[in-house]
Structure 1
């Protein structure tokens, strides 16, 4: 298993805020900063980024949500103060970064041993490596995954790998394996330096669970991070326009505000943001509040993004409708991201009411695949929304994150980096 990404840590006394190390933060730490998420286009270093939420409860039950909407609370009655949340988030990240260093160094040495072993026969299993070097299979799998991501090995099945002959075409001694590892994966020095730099938190994403703007002091929380020189990305479902106005009036807008646009029309919106099982419906009132948020969005002085989470057979319809709503919001950027089958997202088939409640993970995962668009499908849908990128010019794509980024009112397509918190 990954070192930290499955570990959720509640923040504060009332536990409405929480922290979870992002997959890409861990990837960046273990590769010495070489791997990073799409936010790198904005100048964000994944190793110095906190993934968090200010409010785990949510007023919607989106069918594609990767969180446990079936069990999570709908509201919290008491709240921690913003300073406590900010300090605990920073403290928690730093503690895990410290813990990560030795794990990443150990992982590098395991990867090095794998390269030497696999180069002898060109193919080896996880169990064989585990037996030969006396390390658990889970640690071997993690090292294999890094070698796979570095294009040094190819996967035959979940337990067997072979060398990439274009890079490794002979038996390697330890020094040769070290040189290849340092070229394609990372160096021990890079790992150490990246962990050192990661102690200086530069960015906080307030996004990963719930609806952050339900936290009544979200404006002051943004201010707490800004006074520490930390940039913020805030993601909202758009149903609390009054909180956005509050942030505007108090001068505490985030560095970049994301508004999730679930659908191009009311009918699709209700389908996408309501769960049939368990029965948690949204309403036209939510849709009307999103329209109000779009009106506000067009007037905000901060950087803004409209995010469309694309789900096949659910909301990848009516591209002209999306185009109209994006133009209404007039954000700096338009982002399309693909539905990801992670966490509780495989329950989508049940939430849509297309299946009786199923609790077998393998069955859920298999059925959920039909809703996950390929990168090419997302790119084509982005092209349709943007009229072949004539209305919203293409800025960048990220196949690993299944993401397409386009410009709306942003002018400099070659530089979208953030200059200040």
Structure 2
């Protein structure tokens, strides 16, 4: 773990250097809050912007054009959300109101360029601003496909009107203190919501307003394997994990508009957790 001194009161572990254990209290992924108020000022999110073509929004949010959005604009196939839930990828906006996360998963496709931490310590932008800028920047990226060979004109026109929002871009969206306001704003605009959470916030799951599709990631079936694969920062990560599955199971069944469709995402990795199918089956019953 590489530490950089910022002053007598604070030490920071930058995410691109951090190889910390659960017990390392300094691996919080943020700079001194008295000196740094925006996640977007950190080096990691700037890499997201330049290398992964993210569009940063305000202090702590981002939006990106998904590869499946580009695929459907050309009349090709969509992602699994289209197969399972009928979500049209060319009309789907992938965004996050929190670039920060509580885990440092070994499989993270963002290469740990986003900050990590166990609580919110950022200057907070209002939900209205985040949603408005997300839609505007998403539309600007769609606009770049106008007249591109292979892009279907009718798909382009449809793509300019956001109908779905996937809160699964990077980080942990449920950490954002105004997540419920953000979800209500989406639904007011008749935009469906697809929220992915990492099973570390049971109380937040319980108090979450109805989501069109609530999706909890289950990356391991035992305490040791979860620590190895997800590398969570919470010391009580296992009770939080089990509590999240229980909270998911307590959500209202979809028999009215005031409900959330919910599912558990089981992820299998070669030579990591693929041999624990039976254990995963047992864990899964916690969220039934």
Query: What range is the shorter-chain TM-score in?
Result: 0.7 to 0.9
- 2:72 paired residue among 18, 28, 35: 28
Task: Figure out how many residues of one structure are paired with residues of the other and give that number.
Answer: 229
Q: Residue in 2 aligned with 1:237?
A: 198
Is it true that 1:11 corresponds to 2:57 in the alignment?
A: yes
Taking the aligned partners of 1:61 and 1:5, their CA distance within structure 2 comes to: 19
Q: Residue in 2 aligned with 1:253?
A: 210
TM-score, scaled relative to structure 2? 0.75
Is it true that 1:319 corresponds to 2:277 in the alignment?
A: yes
Q: Residue in 2 aligned with 1:49?
A: 92
Deviations 1:185-222 (A, max 9, x none): xxx7xx11110111111100001201111111111111
TM-score, scaled relative to structure 1? 0.52
- 1:267 paired residue among 186, 211, 224: 224
Q: Residue in 2 aligned with 1:66?
A: 109
Report the CA distance shift for 1:73/1:59 in structure 2 as closer, same or farther (over 3 A).
closer
SS of the residue 1:310 aligns to: coil
Taking the aligned partners of 2:124 and 2:136, their CA distance within structure 1 comes to: 19
Tell me the CA shift for residue 286 of structure 1. 1.0
- 2:176 paired residue among 198, 201, 215: 215
Tell me the CA shift for residue 325 of structure 1. 1.3
Report the CA distance shift for 1:211/1:315 in structure 2 as closer, same or farther (over 3 A).
same
Mapped contact 1:26–1:47 kept (Cα < 8 A): yes
- 1:80 paired residue among 125, 129, 133: 125
1:288-307 to 2 correspondence within 5 Å? 288-301=239-252, 302-307=260-265
Mapped contact 2:102–2:234 kept (Cα < 8 A): no
Deviations 1:336-357 (A, max 9, x none): xxxxxxxxxxxxxxxxxxxxxx
Mapped contact 2:203–2:247 kept (Cα < 8 A): no
1:158-237 to 2 correspondence within 5 Å? 191-237=152-198
Q: Which is higher, the Rg of structure 1 or of structure 2?
A: 1
The CA RMSD over aligned residues, in Å, is 1.9
Taking the aligned partners of 2:123 and 2:114, their CA distance within structure 1 comes to: 19
Taking the aligned partners of 2:51 and 2:166, their CA distance within structure 1 comes to: 15
Taking the aligned partners of 1:242 and 1:258, their CA distance within structure 2 comes to: 15
Report the CA distance shift for 1:68/1:76 in structure 2 as closer, same or farther (over 3 A).
farther
1:74-113 to 2 correspondence within 5 Å? 74=117, 76-102=121-147, 104-105=148-149, 108=150
Tell me the CA shift for residue 96 of structure 1. 1.4
Taking the aligned partners of 1:215 and 1:69, their CA distance within structure 2 comes to: 19
Mapped contact 1:57–1:76 kept (Cα < 8 A): no
Report the CA distance shift for 1:323/1:313 in structure 2 as closer, same or farther (over 3 A).
same
Mapped contact 1:50–1:93 kept (Cα < 8 A): yes
Mapped contact 1:264–1:317 kept (Cα < 8 A): no
Taking the aligned partners of 1:71 and 1:88, their CA distance within structure 2 comes to: 20
Q: Residue in 1 aligned with 2:80?
A: 38
Structure (1/2) with the larger helix percentage: 1
Mapped contact 2:103–2:116 kept (Cα < 8 A): no
Runs of 4+ off more than 2 Å? 70-76, 281-284
Tell me the CA shift for residue 243 of structure 1. 1.4
Taking the aligned partners of 2:113 and 2:92, their CA distance within structure 1 comes to: 29
Q: Residue in 2 aligned with 1:286?
A: 237
SS of the residue 1:321 aligns to: helix
